[in-house]
Amino acid sequence: MDCEIVLEYDDEKEAIAVLEAISPDNAPYAVAERNGRKITVRSRSNTCPQMLHTLEDLLACVKVAEETVQASR
């Protein structure tokens, strides 16, 4: 099972901050890369429950990173 999530931000600075915040939590379950204002996260799992768990964790980390970036403005 493969999944790809694309996150788009207002500017590159915000995308960089979010990517740096989530990168330590990704490996080895997901790979994230940035292209301009977009972050693309790719994940692969053997089962649906495993994918769900990975994506729940990842999106929770993304939410915290986004809230932190917004609070620092």
CATH number for position 51: 3.30.310.50
Residue 22: count of CB within 10 angstroms of its CB: 23
Which domain does 40 fall in, by range? 2-71
d(CA 71, CA 13): 14
Number of domains in the chain: 1
Task: Give the per-residue pLDDT at 27.
Answer: 65
Q: What is the pTM of this model?
A: 0.87
Task: Give the per-residue pLDDT at 72.
Answer: 87
Could you read off the pLDDT of 32-70 as tens digits, one per residue? 999 999 999 999 999 999 999 989 999 999 999 999 999
> Which of 49, 39, 47 shows the shortest CA–CA distance to 18?
39
Assigned token pair, 66? 């986004």
- Cis check: omega of the bond before 24, within 30 degrees of 0: no
